[in-house]
Amino acid sequence: MGIVRSYFAILCSLLTLGSTLHAQQMAIVDYGRQPGFLERIKYPFTVREVSPIRLANSSRLENLIRAGKLYLSLQDTIALALENNLDIELQRYGPEIARASLLRAEAGGLLRGIPSTIQQGASSAQAQATGGATGASSSTNSLTSTGSASTGGTVISATGTALQNLDPVFVSQGTFGHSTRPQANTVTTGLTALTFDSKQHAYAVQKSWLTGTTASFGWNNTTTRANNPLSDINPSTSSNFQLQVTQRLLQGFGRTVNNRNIRIARNNLRASDLVFQQQVIVTVSAIVNLYWDLVSYIEDVKVKQQSVALAQKLYEDNKKQVEIGTLAPIEIVSAEAEVARRQQELTTSETLVLQQETILKNALSRTGNLSPMVADARVVPTDRIPSTTDTIAPVNELYDLALKSRPDIAQTRVNIENAKIGLKGSRSQLLPSLDVVGTLQNNALIGQINTVPFPPNRPVTTVRQPDPFFIGGFGSGLEQLFRRNFPDYAVGFTLNIPLRNRSAQADMVLDQLSLRQAELNEQRALNSIRVDVQNAVIGLTQARARYETAVKERVLQEQTLDAEQKKYALGASTVFFVIRYQRDLAQAQSNEVTALSALQKARTQLELVTAQTLKNNNIDIAEAAAGKVSRGPSPLPPGQ
């Protein structure tokens, strides 16, 4: 029983030694709570549960629904997107994946990619019908594609020198056996066969470091009971403590080689934050476009309603004139047909509003339109598209602003830095392998006086008088080990020189080619940004000119229709001309609404390519990451 207690004490000590090495990570997970002894033992085998997905919308959505209507300002729309949009929620897992990958790299594991694909925002109803984009030109695609050459969740095959396993490992081994060895002669033992009952148990702890050093400490014990009458000690127990240290001197030597995956994983933490910021910019830009499209569609409905009212009034006036005989009956048919045509246009505009509301609500809710309260609520935008003309900064200033602000450029540079770090492993692989191994071993032997009798046909010629130093139990063996009564020393080396080394040379070339491709991608991205900024400025200038022209056209058509109606009242015009000018006015008003919407989209596009979306919309990226916006709902305008 004493031996069992001693074994158990040493086993617990070794487990404590290994578990204490995890205390730092446990402190991170448990937020400073000091872990207990049992927790340290269980920690390496505990599953870190990931919280289930959140499908409940934020309370802001319900608070903005009043009397069956969803009142939305632009800031409320953006806040709902930050809290409930699934594209943003999906990207929130990116930093968590990067942190788990860092933990894997710190243990010496292979790298796993981080997700960096950016989801495009929803397109407007009219764009879906025509197959176009929602106010975002090709520059949006460059923003969402740059630096997204990640492998997602797949395992990347590591090139270069092999990585060390940085987590300590405790190994325990036990063997119980019986063996029988027949003897060719009986001169030495007097027996035709020797039998052995053996018990072996061994314990070891192994740990590697970033310097290329690996150390292992083992405790080995073998207890043997035999039928040999000539042994002085039987049963006997041989034990040893063995410390072995291996140091890489050429290939795999140094921290810069062995911690390359850790540095890449830390860079990926930064890259995952940039990807999230990138997703927020793209999503918010799409949401802003959806909002202003809805506003423009509602304004277009008002224009169509005014057009229907004008056509209806003309129809009623013509009907009265036909009744009193001052107008031919055919004019009623013409006016009635015009009313029907404009009613059809009004219906098309009203259904377009309904489609746009559905798309917008789906982008602002985690469950889309599954909730009856959300599905049945009509969206009432409380903001109007600003018609002010802002001063456009010079292209060079906007280009410099984009270079400083765009997260995709920063992500591309992180990828280049990671490629350079990875080169160190491939360069080290080109070297020969030279390992120096040092071994220290303390040996012990203990047991009891042999009580096996001599064979009856063999006379006793000697008296068993074993050295008392070797007589004893488990404690005596440990004393010999710690006193180092029987030490062994050994120092050696292993040299491995590849005669051709083609695989390492190929890896080095491939990694350098990948680096050159990454550098070219950076330059291509810089060139693309210049084009994006110039196109956005040109687009804004064109949109401003179109809007100003549309305003002048609408004023002209109003004046022309007013003059034609006065001529018609005096009998100097016909219904045909009045209807034609009414159509022209309705078209001019619709063109003005469309031009104003395009002007606002051009502003949004310029903010997107210069990465000023977050700043201009007062978005805190920390709040976006948390999915909780601190500002409250916007007050309703008077009368609503």
Computed from CA positions of residues 96, 100, 101, 102, in that sequence, does the dihedral angle turn out positive or negative?
Answer: positive
Residue 339 within a domain: no
User: 95: cis peptide before it, omega within 30°?
Assistant: no
Among residues 149, 614, 625, 620, the alpha carbon closest in space to that of 411 is found at 149
Computed from CA positions of residues 624, 628, 630, 635, in that sequence, does the dihedral angle turn out positive or negative?
Answer: positive
Question: Cα–Cα–Cα angle for 511, 514, 519, nearest 5°?
Answer: 130
Strand partners, 233: 449
pLDDT digits (tens, 9 = 90+) for 238-249: 999 999 999 999
Between the alpha carbon of residue 366 and those of residues 61, 273, 293, 640, the distances in Å are: 11, 22, 22, 27
Of the pLDDT bands very low, low, confident and very high (cuts 50, 70, 90), residue 622 is very high
- DSSP 8-state class, residue 485: S
For the cut 80, the answer to whether the pLDDT of residue 28 exceeds it is no
Residue 410 within a domain: no
Count Cβ atoms within 10 A of the Cβ of residue 412 and give its class: 0-12 exposed, 13-18 middle, 19 or more buried: buried
Please state, in angstroms and rounded to a whole number, the distance separating the CA atoms of residues 107 and 165. Answer: 6
Q: SS3 helix, strand, coil % of the chain, rounded to 5?
A: 55, 15, 30
* pLDDT for position 449: 87
* pLDDT for position 432: 93
Please state, in angstroms and rounded to a whole number, the distance separating the CA atoms of residues 134 and 289. Answer: 7
- DSSP 8-state class, residue 155: B
Tokens encoding 552: 């002048």
Please state, in angstroms and rounded to a whole number, the distance separating the CA atoms of residues 103 and 80. Answer: 33
Residue 503 within a domain: no
Whole-prediction pTM = 0.83
Tokens encoding 548: 């100003």
Please state, in angstroms and rounded to a whole number, the distance separating the CA atoms of residues 637 and 305. Answer: 23
Strand partners, 435: 248, 494
Residue 3 within a domain: yes
For the cut 50, the answer to whether the pLDDT of residue 150 exceeds it is no
Q: Where are the alpha helices (DSSP H) in 436-501?
A: 474-483
Q: Which domain holds residue 236?
A: 169-208+213-251+433-496
**Regarding predicted confidence, which is higher, 462 or 499?**
499
User: What integer is the mean pLDDT of 345-349?
Assistant: 91
Residue keyed to tokens 């004893």: 472
**Residue ranges of E strands in 209-331:** 213-226, 233-248
- DSSP 8-state class, residue 469: G
Q: Which DSSP helix (H) or strand (E) runs through 64? A: none
Of the pLDDT bands very low, low, confident and very high (cuts 50, 70, 90), residue 16 is very low
Of the pLDDT bands very low, low, confident and very high (cuts 50, 70, 90), residue 143 is low
Question: Cα–Cα–Cα angle for 118, 122, 123, nearest 5°?
Answer: 125
Residue 600's contacts (CB-CB under 8 Å, 6 or more residues apart) are 292, 385, 386
Question: Cα–Cα–Cα angle for 257, 262, 264, nearest 5°?
Answer: 90
Residue 49's contacts (CB-CB under 8 Å, 6 or more residues apart) are none
Please state, in angstroms and rounded to a whole number, the distance separating the CA atoms of residues 252 and 426. Answer: 10
Of the pLDDT bands very low, low, confident and very high (cuts 50, 70, 90), residue 23 is very low
For the cut 60, the answer to whether the pLDDT of residue 518 exceeds it is yes
Task: With beta carbons less than 8 A apart as the criterion, state whether 214 and 245 touch.
Answer: yes
Of 452, 473, 496, the domain-final residue: 496
* pLDDT for position 29: 42
Of the pLDDT bands very low, low, confident and very high (cuts 50, 70, 90), residue 24 is very low
Tokens encoding 247: 């140091």
**Regarding predicted confidence, which is higher, 621 or 319?**
621
pLDDT digits (tens, 9 = 90+) for 37-87: 777 778 778 888 888 988 888 989 988 988 889 999 999 999 999 999 999
Number of domains in the chain: 2
Tokens encoding 182: 């027949």
Task: With beta carbons less than 8 A apart as the criterion, state whether 501 and 430 touch.
Answer: yes
Task: With beta carbons less than 8 A apart as the criterion, state whether 223 and 237 touch.
Answer: yes
Highest-pLDDT range among 12-26, 460-474, 515-529, 570-584 = 515-529
Between 39-48, 494-503, 560-569, 592-601, the lowest mean confidence (pLDDT) is in: 39-48
User: What integer is the mean pLDDT of 444-465?
Assistant: 75
* Mean pLDDT score of the chain: 84
Residue 176 within a domain: yes
* pLDDT for position 459: 60
Residue 479's contacts (CB-CB under 8 Å, 6 or more residues apart) are none
For the cut 50, the answer to whether the pLDDT of residue 349 exceeds it is yes
Please state, in angstroms and rounded to a whole number, the distance separating the CA atoms of residues 419 and 111. Answer: 13
pLDDT digits (tens, 9 = 90+) for 204-248: 999 999 999 999 999 999 999 988 888 888 899 999 999 999 999
Of the pLDDT bands very low, low, confident and very high (cuts 50, 70, 90), residue 631 is confident
Residue 475 within a domain: yes
Among residues 204, 202, 203, 205, the alpha carbon closest in space to that of 168 is found at 205
Task: With beta carbons less than 8 A apart as the criterion, state whether 385 and 547 touch.
Answer: no
**Regarding predicted confidence, which is higher, 138 or 143?**
143
* pLDDT for position 27: 40
Name the strands in the sheet holding 193-208, side by side, starting at the edge strand that comes first in the sequence: 169-182, 193-208, 213-226, 233-248, 433-449, 486-496
- CA atoms within 13 Å, Cβ hemisphere of 62: 7
